Amino acid sequence: MSMEVVLEAQNIRKYFPVKGNMGKVVNHVKAVDDVSVKLYRGETFGLVGETGCGKSTLGRTLMKLLEPTAGTICIENKDITNYSERKMRSVRSYIQMVFQDPYSSLNPRKKVGQILEEVLMIQKIKCDRQKTVLDILEKVGLRKEHYYRFPHEFSGGQRQRIGLARALILNPGIIVCDEPVSALDVSIQSQIINLLLDLQEERNLSYLFIAHDMSVVKFISDRIGVMYLGHLVEEAETAELFANPLHPYTQALLSAVPEANPHVRKKRIVLQGDVPSPLNPPSGCVFHERCPYAKPICSQEKPVKKEMAKDHTVNCHLYEK
Ligand code: SF4
């Protein structure tokens, strides 16, 4: 991993308008609220949090599949925030996405070879298309004869390999992986993760890896960001985060990860209440209604980001100096 930044997003907000009876906007769902992230060349940045915390929305917003409500996005030092859809075309091949369920985005009536060749055609890439597709199939561990098969003829793991082939064929620098192994059996998960790691090393790829499974994220990520209700509440290198989680929410998340060593006893922290609605997020710290350490200031003031150790930041009033 180098210290070269390939993607930098600052103060990203993504609000979805909620309309009332008369079609007037009456409120907003604050799916992502003031999040800043950096992605370095060749690294994997894991983004974790429960379903609905805004991590997938953030991933899509960084690729401008969703327009940000506020904030700036730079890719390879180019500010793409206000790029038109036409101008985005060149960026799209550089930043690709792998989805949880690639099947839903593969045309069931087309053969895999044709699906992949179309990606090259849309981007107007001049090459021997069939050869390029056959090469990429081999790269992701599929065989030549798979070129002539339909998506339904593949297993879940193989379909995820097709999803990866589709992302890789345009030779991207960044891949946003949105829960890419969550739907797969554990044994298949590790095959896909190892494939992702091999490809990263070979091509110096940067991954934004979105997942709710802490064990998977721990295995693949160099750094991890923890999201709660649209906010990035803690960020650190993987080993540092697991050894020294600071935010009470991170502590609760990590306490639920099964321990590899059966002799180590862990006390599981069970959070009270449900995740509040992003329609009416709590005042101050968005976690205060569920936090075992909340103090009066927590419901009044939003905690700001503080760096507690090298590259380890947290947003929490407990660490006010
Ligand atoms: Fe808990 Fe307060 Fe820290 Fe929020 S700011 S996580 S409520 S201690």
Tell me the residue ranges of DSSP E strands in the chain. 5-19, 25-40, 44-48, 70-75, 78-79, 95-98, 174-178, 206-211, 223-228, 231-237, 305-309, 312-315
What residues contact residue 204 under an 8 Å CB cut-off, 6+ apart?
41, 42, 173
On whether the CB atoms of residues 156 and 102 are closer than 8 A, the answer is no
Separation of CA 41 and ligand 1 centre (Å): 33
Does the CB atom of residue 70 touch ligand 1 within 6 A? no
Domains, in order of start, for the chain: 5-94+170-319 (3.40.50.300), 109-167 (no CATH)
- What does residue 308 show for φ and ψ, rounded to 5 degrees? -95, -25
Does the CB atom of residue 298 touch ligand 1 within 6 A? yes
- Within a 13 Å sphere around the CA of 122, how many CA atoms are in the beta-carbon half? 14
Nearest Cα neighbor of 42 from 79, 80, 5, 91 is 5
Place of tokens 């199939």: 137
- What does residue 161 show for φ and ψ, rounded to 5 degrees? -65, -35
pLDDT of 321 above 70: no
Place of tokens 């050869």: 131
What pLDDT is recorded for position 126? 87
CA 270: distance to chain centroid? 25
Angle at 225 between CA 223 and CA 230, to 5 degrees: 165
Place of tokens 């905690």: 303
Does the CB atom of residue 226 touch ligand 1 within 6 A? no
What pLDDT is recorded for position 28? 92
pLDDT digits (tens, 9 = 90+) for 137-163: 999 999 999 999 999 999 989 999 999
On whether the CB atoms of residues 278 and 294 are closer than 8 A, the answer is no
* Ligand 1 atom index nearest CA of 297: 2
On whether the CB atoms of residues 13 and 30 are closer than 8 A, the answer is yes
* Ligand 1 atom index nearest CA of 248: 6
Q: What number of other Cβ atoms are within 10 A of residue 137's Cβ?
A: 22
> pLDDT band for position 125 (50/70/90)?
confident
Euclidean distance between CA atoms 121 and 163, whole angstroms: 17
* Ligand 1 atom index nearest CA of 292: 1
Place of tokens 């209440």: 273
pLDDT of 1 above 70: no
Alpha-carbon dihedral of residues 43, 48, 53, 54, nearest 10 degrees? Answer: 10
Alpha-carbon Rg for the chain, nearest whole angstrom, is 21
Q: What is the pTM of this model?
A: 0.93
On whether the CB atoms of residues 40 and 5 are closer than 8 A, the answer is yes
pLDDT digits (tens, 9 = 90+) for 162-183: 999 999 999 999 999 998 888 8
Separation of CA 54 and ligand 1 centre (Å): 19
Does the CB atom of residue 318 touch ligand 1 within 6 A? yes
